[in-house]
Amino acid sequence: MPESASENGGSPGQSDPSSQTSSEAYEPDPRRWRILAVTLMAGFMSLLDVSIVNVALPSIQDSLNASAGGIQWVISGYALTFGLVLVSGGRLGDVLGRRRMFLIALSAFVVTSALAGAAPTETTLVLARLLQGFSAGLLTPQNTGLIQDLFRGAERGKAFGLFGATVGISTAIGPVLGGLILAAFGDSSGWRWVFFVNVPIGIVALVLAARLLPSVPRKGPVRSEIDVPGMLLLGGAVFCVLLPLVESEQGGLRTLWWLFGVAPVLGFLFVRWERRTVRWGRPPLLDTRLFTSTPGYSAGATIGTVYFCGFAGIWLVFALFFQQGLGYTPLESGLAVTPFALGSAVSAAVAGRLVPRWGRWLTVAGLGLVAAGLSVVAVLAGLVPEHRIGLVTVLPLLVAGIGGGMVISPNTTLTLGSVPTRMAGVAGGALQTGQRLGTALGTAVLASVFHAVTLSSGEFTSGLTVAMFCSVGFTIIALAIAIAQLCSGRGSAANTQANGDGKSPRVLHSGY
């Protein structure tokens, strides 16, 4: 039965974000799977650049005679600007149209990739990476937004399954591809091709996207749809959290800790401003009722953030352990963790199809497998000889990867399942902002633990063991949240099927 906006605490003319007008007709686009392939190609590039550069850092430092701080910013600058604009990028896609924003952001990503590859100095490279991260942050939310627009029901689960596979593969396979590129082009100039490889792929994706992506007429004046104060406040809050974390290797936690106190102040002001904007009848950047009134969104976003704290940080720890501790080459180090990537890729594609049937049970099972697999890695690191660790961890990493694929894509489907399509971009951007924050926090914590234990014990295996157990701790917290949601009945398969078409049980008359 329809309800008025005022009955839900909103202002007249403002609908609850969990609603979707019943008049919205869905006609499947016959090109939707080809469109998904093109957008995932671009999304793969942007996510791959988070990790692929790690193995090239020594080559970059030698080639450009770069400082340690500058090299750190090649990594952290990308992560910082990437996470900074995800929500704003999603909102711009909602307002300007996803096709327009996708083409603009992808063009910028291709240009900045070329600039990074051709950088003659450390300063130019850092600037190029900042701009590259900015364009990737604008590009990434368009992927989830387009899936929300183009797919419904079981098909949406399959699409998010492929998206989850893309996220898992791009995160885990970066070191392998980076090592292959360096091996093919040599250490002196190979690092440039780590960036140049994006250019031909990006151009092909641009041409295909221009031909395939549907064009949607712009609604009203853009100025009235953009919440600039909200963008600045949220951007400031995210910046204050991310900067000390991404600078942690250079002492950022010691010198910039005070920014953690500024972040909640800006966050509070942001929430107040957004609520006031809704009361005034204006479109907010991020309607806070997305978290309070949209079934499954708040819990799903929290699960994603906490899981990425444990999941994303292990790759730096493995790289440090295998390369510094065991003397592996970058390529050998990347190949050692490939089982996780393969398991994640296969299970994410399969799990996406099973969401309507199994719902949150998939996430619970996946988190359990991740915790079990990484626990075995932690135990084996302290029991077997160092030269055998790369071999004996193949099976537990494969199990953890299978579990990881069962987490990312089903959780994305369940989290965004009841979000109306008009808010798909900003909802996806907010979800991925949490994941970026989790990545930064987890990487800082796990790397710090690894370094501290290794220095105190003099053994790299001890550092790996403790870091893996820290990752398991984060995973268990995410598992507890998932179980709590399942016990509440909000993550059941029946509920997933009811909301699998992007509609909420509560349908309101109007939207902003």
Distance CA 81, CA 135 (A): 9
DSSP-H helix ranges across 49-186: 57-64, 68-84, 86-96, 98-117, 122-150, 153-185
Q: Which amino acid is at 185?
A: F
Q: Which amino acid is at 221?
A: P
Q: What CATH number has the domain bearing residue 362?
A: 1.20.1250.20
Q: Is residue 509 part of a domain?
A: no
Q: How far is CA 72 from CA 61, 163, 330, in A?
A: 10, 29, 18
Q: Is residue 7 part of a domain?
A: no
Question: Given the structure tokens 């300063």, which residue do they identify?
Answer: 123
The pLDDT tens digits for 468-491 are 999 999 999 999 999 988 887 665
Distance CA 434, CA 309 (A): 10
Longest dimension (CA), the chain: 68
Can you give the pTM of this predicted structure? 0.77
The pLDDT tens digits for 134-145 are 899 899 888 888
Q: Is the dihedral of CA 334, 378, 440, 428 positive or negative?
A: positive
Q: Is residue 152 part of a domain?
A: yes
Task: Note whether 336 and 393 are within 8 A (CB).
Answer: yes
Distance CA 159, CA 424 (A): 14
Residue range of the domain that includes 395: 29-213+224-499
pLDDT of residue 252: 65
Q: Is residue 11 part of a domain?
A: no
**Angle at alpha carbon of residue 214, lines to 211 and 217, rounded to 5°:** 125
Report residue 220's pLDDT band, with 50, 70 and 90 as the boundaries.
Answer: low
Q: Is residue 133 part of a domain?
A: yes
The pLDDT tens digits for 315-343 are 888 888 888 888 887 778 778 888 888 88
Q: Is the dihedral of CA 74, 76, 82, 85 positive or negative?
A: negative
Domain total for the chain? Answer: 1
Task: Note whether 70 and 76 are within 8 A (CB).
Answer: no
Separation of CA 252 from chain center? 23
Distance CA 29, CA 49 (A): 31
Per-range mean pLDDT, top range of 104-113, 341-350, 443-452: 104-113
Q: Is residue 431 part of a domain?
A: yes
The pLDDT tens digits for 231-275 are 788 888 888 887 787 776 666 667 777 888 888 898 889 888 878
**Angle at alpha carbon of residue 430, lines to 429 and 433, rounded to 5°:** 85
